[in-house]
Amino acid sequence: MTDWLNAFIQGILLGGLYALFAAGLSLIFGVMRLVNLAHGDLIVLAAFAILFVAAKLGLDPFVAVLVALPMLFVAGFALQHVLLNRTLGRDLLPPLLVTFGLSIIIQNGLLEIFSADSQRLRSGAIETASLALGGGVAVGVVPVLTLLSAVAAIVFLNLVFYHTPLGRAFRATSDDLEIAQLMGIDVSRIFAMAMGLAFIVIAIAALYLGLRANFDPSIGPARLLYAFEAVIIGGLGSFWGTLAGGIILGLAQTMGAQFDPEWQILSGHLAFLVVLVLRPRGLFPRALD
């Protein structure tokens, strides 16, 4: 019984990481209907950026991510403003092709700069610190911080969307792009701001990715897959649904691993398939309005 309880708790905590992977993807799709195939590689790129800042300045990763955040926001803003805005339109194929190409460029660029060796963000004793819950069950501090950060990111995105002028512009462009332009909204700038915010969430996801596991330039597509599954399970357009989708995916993996460790990854994919068959629009679909 203790093993199953532990698997349940660990699944929820793992879901926090998947929700962080998915939140930026959900934001971008919700605002501009852009399916970013480079999203997983951007998470890995951000992890290497944090690693570089931490190594060069001698900083703890939790401090290094604060230093890297403004740079990543600017990078996201520039990427959307200079490149991706030129691909957006009624045809969905150009942004797919461009982000696919961007994914390949990021992977090969990281291979050239950092090699194929696995890397890890080191933060001292907190990496192995744990909290005893009683009954022989303990949870790691970093996984707990991951879940709390995921909740904080979702709260932040909801506040921006529903309680700020920028959020009203996001919703307006999402609802009707042409009317938003007629009302004087600078759509290109709004899209670039959305990508900048997505890069902030990506940086947080990258921090916990690097603290919880080794990473290398080739793991981006797998992170993208988990992000897509979490978004679709939760429901397109719902930030809280994205959090729920990440937790469901995490629970499916840890529960599957209880039956057989080889079933861990497959169990998550099967849960995704079941939800897709029963609820094609996800469990908690909601328009961003």
CATH label of the domain that carries residue 233: 1.10.3470
Task: With respect to residue 119, please indicate whether it lies within any of the assigned structural domains.
Answer: no
Q: Is the pLDDT of residue 2 over 80?
A: no
Task: With respect to residue 245, please indicate whether it lies within any of the assigned structural domains.
Answer: yes
Q: Which band of pLDDT confidence, cut at 50, 70 and 90, is reported for residue 127?
A: confident
Task: With respect to residue 209, please indicate whether it lies within any of the assigned structural domains.
Answer: yes
Q: Is the pLDDT of residue 289 over 60?
A: no
CB 137 within 8 A of CB 8: no
Task: With respect to residue 267, please indicate whether it lies within any of the assigned structural domains.
Answer: yes
pLDDT in tens, 205-215: 999 999 999 99
Number of domains comprising the chain:
1
Task: With respect to residue 54, please indicate whether it lies within any of the assigned structural domains.
Answer: yes
Domain interval for residue 178: 2-110+139-278
Q: What is the pTM of this model?
A: 0.93
pLDDT in tens, 129-174: 888 887 778 888 999 999 999 999 999 999 999 899 999 999 888 8
Task: With respect to residue 52, please indicate whether it lies within any of the assigned structural domains.
Answer: yes
Task: With respect to residue 130, please indicate whether it lies within any of the assigned structural domains.
Answer: no
Task: With respect to residue 283, please indicate whether it lies within any of the assigned structural domains.
Answer: no
